[in-house]
Every structure is written in structure tokens, then in C-alpha cells.
Amino acid sequence: MAEQADRDSRTEEATEKKIRDAIEKGNVPVSREASIFATVAGMLIIAAFLVKDFIGSTTLALARLFGDPGGWLLKNGFDAVALFKLVAWDMFKLMIPLLVVLMAAGLLSSFLQNAPRLALDRIQPDFQRISLINGWRRIFGAQGRTEFLKGVFKLTSITAVILAVLQSQQNILVDAMAVEPEAIPELILTIAMRLLSVVCIVTALLLAADLLWARTHWRRDLRMSKQEVKDEMKQNEGDPLKKARLRSLALDRMRKSMIAAVPKATLVIANPTHYAIALRYVKEEGGAPLVVSKGQDLIALRIREIAEQYSIPIIEDKLLARSMYDSVEVDRTIPPEFYKAVAELIHFLYAKNSRRASIK
């Protein structure tokens, strides 16, 4: 019941991170029908391309062995061992192509489903795998029942197809009793290839269905609860409280830096109480006016206080201050659309300073 309740609570599809972690740990969707299909396909290839050569080579080897029995020395045990090694080596050489085809088919059935990777978690000791209780649950649980039904369906399907093929070849089998003995091996090979071909087709259909079921079941097992999704997002993005604290510290450092840069300003453009933008323009330095500081509300008032302390001109222009505040950035020059308005203010200040200098 607890397991069912836990599964019912997992209503969210697995995130990319959950899927990636599962694959890295070796938890990948695998169809058992792939190995069966690979074996049948390998046997079909062997029957179509290698059996005739294998039978011919075997016949020659047996003829060489039994055609001249007097040519083999069997005086003692060493001679018997030598003869056994020779026969075994000949048979091994004949079996190599067959083994290579079956091994290649088996490897391809695995590699084509999932890319090969080293998953150490899958080979670490786990006592739960040898637990009788867990083994009993795997055999008689929902997954065990599903595998049993799949096996029964597979066996029934393949048996029915084989019986249908043999029924269709009934006349050929009856006529085989009247053919020459030399033609019987060829006839048996032909019928065997037909059987393997039909079984291969049926197995391929079963493989396609099982692959779809395996991937659907795999994704269902990887589903997450809403709380797990939230926890993962929190883990990926970081603790919100910590992020807020870091953001607050960064803003505090930025405010202190801007306040410290105000004495370098040439003028301050301000809305009376809400906005303040400190600009630096020195003709000898070249370039457009530079924004050294900007602030809103309390920061704006603080900028004005420092500007008054250092006798920096403060020009109140509500519209200009409001529009510039949303468009300019600290430590960057003002945008081109403000060149004219700011240039007029700077020209006004320069003219004012010139008049004062001439009066003195």
C-alpha cells in the first residue's frame, strides 16, 4: 500500500537532470526481446551464408579423421591427447565464424538500445539483490506478473507461427521421403531458413512493442512528486534565502561604490526628491558624459547631500531625471538621445562659471 501511495504521488514527468543521473547510474530502458531477436537473426545469417561451408568443412575434417584410421598413432595416452587436440582445434576453427556472428549480433542488440558506458553503481555489492523477500516480490509482484504474461504471449505467438509454417510445408515434408538422400540436407536447410525467417519477423514485431513498453515503463518509474521537483529546482538554483542575502550584499556594495564616486561628478541631475543622476564630464578627458552614480529615494537624497558637500551643481529637471534614470547605467556614458539635453546643461554651467570668473 505504501509503495502504491508513493507511486500515485509521482505525477510529474522526470526532469532532464533526473533522466541524466539515471542514465549515468546505468538505469536505462532495456528490452529483453532484443537479445532473442539478435540470436534468431544471427542464426538466420548463419543458415543463409555459413551453414553450407560449415557442413562441407566438417565433412572434410571427418573424412580425414575416419578415412584413414590406420594413419593415426594411438599407442599410448600421449597419442590420444594429441589426436584430441587436433580434432578440437579443427572444430574450433570451424566454429569461429559462427561464434563471431552470434557475438556480434548480441553486442549490436545491446549497443543499439543504449550507448555503452561504465556504471560502477551497477556492479557494487547490494545485499538487497540476494534478499529472498525482494526476490519473491520481483517474481510475484506486478513486474513479475507482467514478465510472465509477456513470456506466455511470446511463446504462444512463436509456437503458433512455427506450427503454421510447418503446416504449409506439410506436402514438401511428405514428398521428402521420395527424394534422393543427398537432397535431404538441402531440403532441411530450406525449411529451417523459412522457419527462422518467420520467427525473426515475429520477434522483430515483439521487439518493437517491447521497446515501446520498456521506455514507457522506464519513464513512469522515473516520475517525480511535486515536492521532488521543487527540491531539485531549489538545489539547482540555490537556496532562495542565501541568494537573497548575496543579492543584498551585492546591492549594498554597489550603493557604497556609487556613493563614493559622487565627489568625482561634474553635475547632478535630479528630480527634487525621487531621482538623482551624477554625471562626470571633463573636456580634456574626451568622450560623452559618464554616469558615476544614480539613485532613487534615499539614495537620491544621499547623492544630493554629498554633491552639496563638495559644491557640485545640482540641476533639477523632473522629466530629464526620470527618463534618464531608466535608460542609463553606472560607469557607462549616457545614451545618444540625451546628448543634446545634457550638453545644454553643461554649456549652461560652463557659461555660469565663466561669468563668475570674469566678475572676480
DSSP characters over 129-159: GG-HHHHHHHHHSHHHHHHHHHHHHHHHHHH
Report pLDDT for 147: 75
The share of the chain scoring above pLDDT 70, in percent, equals: 76
- Domain membership of residue 121 (yes or no) is no
Q: Report the SS3 class of residue 25.
A: coil
In this prediction, residues 38-56 reach a mean pLDDT of 82
Write out pLDDT tens, residues 256-265: 877 888 888 8
Residues 46 and 195 placed together within one structural domain of the fold: yes
CA atoms within 13 A on the CB side of 296: 5
Mean pLDDT across the stretch 286-313? 88
What confidence tier does 174 reach under pLDDT thresholds 50, 70, 90? low
Domain count, the chain: 2
If asked whether residues 164 and 46 sit together in one domain, one would say yes
CA–CA distance, 294 with 292 (Å, rounded to integer): 7
Give which of 316, 305, 310 is closest to 345, Cα–Cα: 316
Residue 306's CATH number: 3.40.1690.10
C-alpha count within 13 angstroms, C-beta hemisphere, residue 47: 20
Averaged pLDDT, 215-232:
83
Query: Is 278 found in the same domain as 158?
Result: no
Q: What type of residue is 189?
A: L
Asked if residue 316 and residue 291 are part of one domain, the reply reads yes
Model confidence at 37: pLDDT above 50: yes
Instruction: For residue 87, give the amino acid letter.
Output: V
Determine the Cα–Cα distance for residues 46 and 91; give it in Å rounded to an integer.
Answer: 16
Is residue 177 one of the residues assigned to a domain?
yes
> Do 246 and 198 belong together in one domain?
no
Residue 276 lies in a domain: yes
**Least confident interval from 72-81, 154-163, 186-195, 287-296:** 72-81
Q: Is the predicted pLDDT of residue 64 greater than 80, yes or no? A: no
Report the range out of 6-10, 94-98, 126-130, 320-324 with the highest average pLDDT.
320-324
- Sign of the C-alpha dihedral, residues 310, 313, 316, 322? negative
Report which of 311, 327, 310 is spatially closest to residue 275, judged by C-alpha positions.
327
**Are 256 and 355 part of one and the same domain?**
yes
The domain boundary, picked from 233, 263, 289, lies at: 233
Residue count (the chain): 360
Q: What gap in Å lies between CA 337 and CA 324, rounded to an integer?
A: 10
Which residue range is the domain that position 299 belongs to? 242-359
Average pLDDT along the chain: 79
Give the model's pLDDT for residue 193: 84
Cβ atoms 98, 46 nearer than 8 A: yes
- The answer on 246 and 228 residing in a single domain is no
309-360: per-residue pLDDT in tens?
Answer: 888 888 888 888 888 888 888 889 999 899 898 888 888 888 887 776 666 5
Q: Residue 154: pLDDT above 70?
A: yes
Local confidence band at 1 (pLDDT 50, 70, 90 cut-offs): very low
Residue 119 falls inside a structural domain = no
Q: What per-residue confidence (pLDDT) applies to 279?
A: 92
